[in-house]
Amino acid sequence: MGAPGIVDNGKQFVELAGEGIVIFTSQHQLNASFLFTKNDAGRSLFGNQKAVYTAYVNGFNDDEWGVGSVFKMWTMAMTSIGNVYRHHGFS
């Protein structure tokens, strides 16, 4: 997990995830990187803070990120990576 040059170990990955950013790189299998960000979605009817999670995708060496899906739950955002692997024939 993590992207080369951004996250070197598990501790840095967890710290970055705590700030609302996760980068997952799959250079050898998918030749792609995935960026997940936690975004402010305002307040609920009862005043609780809401969040949405946005996925971005790029080719491994591309300079631009394409916007992917927006998720209401962090777990749904993370499991979406598995769908990409299954689509490409990995199980």
Number of folded domains that form the chain = 1
Domain boundaries, position 39: 10-85
Domain presence at residue 3:
no
| β-sheet with 21-26: strand ranges across | 21-26, 32-43, 49-59, 66-71
pLDDT of residue 43: 96
**Is 7's pLDDT higher than 70?**
no
Q: Across-strand partners of 56?
A: 35, 67
Inside any domain, residue 5: no
Domain contains 40: yes
pLDDT at 30 over 70: yes
Question: Per-residue pLDDT for 13 more than 70?
Answer: yes
The Cβ-side half-sphere exposure at 20, using a 13 Å CA radius, reads 9
Statement: residue 10 has pLDDT above 60 = yes
Question: 2: number of CA atoms within 13 Å, CB side?
Answer: 14
Whether the CB-CB separation of 25 and 33 falls below 8 Å is answered with: yes
Assigned domain for 58 exists: yes
State pLDDT tens for residues 32-76: 888 899 999 999 999 999 999 999 998 877 888 899 899 998 888
Model-level pTM?
Answer: 0.75
